[in-house]
A and B are shown apart, each in its own frame.
Chain A
Amino acid sequence: MPTFFRRHYARRLEAVGRTEQAVGAVILLALAGILTAYLLDLATHPGSPVGAWEAAPTAPGDRLPDPGLPDWIPCRQTEHFTADNLFEKINGRAEVYLQHQVAGLTFGSYCHQTQTGRTIDVYWFNMGRPQSAQAVYETERPAQPDPVPIGDAGYQSGTAVFFRKGASYVQVVPSGLDPADGQAARRIAELLADRISYQSADGPTSAANPGPRP
Chain B
Amino acid sequence: MTDRPITRRECLARGAGAAVAAGLAAAGGFLLHDREGRDPATDLPSAGGLRDFFAGIDFPAGSPRIAVVVGHEQRIRQMVQAALAALDPELGLKRFVGRGDVVLIKPNVGFDRPPHLGATTHPEVLRWVIRLCREAGASRVMVTDNPIESPQACFAKSGIGPVVQAEGAELVLPASGRFRVLAPWPDPAGQQATAASIDWQRWPLLWEPLDQATRLIGLAPVKDHNLAGGSMALKNWYGFLGGRRSQLHQAIHEAISDLALLLSPTLVIADATRVMMRSGPTGGRLSDVSPGGKLGRPVLVASVDPVACDSWCYQNLLDRDPAGLPYLELAARKIQSQIRAGRRRFGQSDWRVYGSEGRIATISV
Contact = CB atoms under 8 A, between A and B. Distances in A.
Given A17-B8, A91-B245, A30 B116 contact: no
B6 A10 contact: yes
Contact of A20 (B1, B11, B110): B11
B47 to A, nearest CB: 22
A35 to B, nearest CB: 10
B352 interface: no
Given A87-B148, A91-B245, A121-B112, A140 B285 contact: yes
Interface in A1-40: 1-2, 7-10, 17, 19-20, 23-24, 26-27, 30-31, 33-34, 37
A95 B33 contact: no
A37 B33 CA distance: 11
A141 B18 CA distance: 66
B246 A87 contact: yes
A1 B225 contact: no
A30 B22 contact: yes
A93 B281 contact: yes
A90 interface: yes
A211 interface: no
Contacts of A145: 287
A69 interface: no
Given A30-B23, A177-B116, A93 B5 contact: no
Interface in A136-162: 140, 142, 144-145, 157-160, 162
Interface in A166-211: 171, 173-177
B160 to A, nearest CB: 13
B279 A158 contact: no
B149 interface: yes
A212 interface: no
Interface in B271-297: 279-282, 284-288
Given A23-B12, A27-B19, A96-B226, A158 B282 contact: no
Contact of A92 (B156, B157, B282): B282
Given A88-B149, A94-B246, A9 B116 contact: no
Given A30-B19, A30-B22, A89-B149, A47 B282 contact: no
Nearest to B245: A91
A213 interface: no
A92 B156 CA distance: 21
A177 to B, nearest CB: 6
Contact of B286 (A8, A10, A157): A157
A95 B284 contact: no
A214 interface: no
Contacts of B111: 90
A23 B246 contact: no
Contacts of B15: 20, 23-24, 27
Given A27-B22, A41-B33, A46-B244, A9 B284 contact: no
A17 B7 CA distance: 12
A93 B157 contact: no
Interface size class of B (residues with CB under 8 A): 35 or more
**At the interface, is chain A mostly helix, strand, loop or mixed?**
mixed
Given A33-B26, A93-B282, A10 B7 contact: yes
Contacts of B286: 157-160, 177
B148 A117 contact: no
A95 B227 contact: yes
A140 B224 CA distance: 13
B6 A92 contact: no
B25 interface: yes
Nearest to B158: A175
A9 B6 CA distance: 7
A119 interface: yes
B3 A34 contact: no
A149 to B, nearest CB: 19
B172 interface: no
Contacts of B226: 92-93, 95-96
Contact of A173 (B7, B11, B284, B287): B284
Interface string B115-130: 0110000000000000
Nearest first, the 6 closest Cβ-Cβ pairs linking A and B are: A158-B286, A45-B37, A157-B285, A23-B15, A87-B246, A142-B287
Interface of B: 1, 3, 5-8, 11-12, 15-16, 18-19, 22-23, 25-26, 29-30, 33, 37, 39, 110-114, 116-117, 148-149, 156-157, 225-228, 231, 244-246, 249, 279-282, 284-288
23 contacts: A20-B12, A23-B15, A23-B16, A27-B15, A30-B19, A30-B22, A34-B25, A37-B26, A37-B29, A48-B37, A87-B148, A87-B246, A92-B110, A92-B280, A92-B281, A93-B279, A95-B226, A144-B287, A145-B287, A157-B287, A158-B285, A160-B286, A173-B284
Interface of A: 1-2, 7-10, 17, 19-20, 23-24, 26-27, 30-31, 33-34, 37, 41, 44-48, 87-96, 117, 119, 121, 123, 140, 142, 144-145, 157-160, 162, 171, 173-177
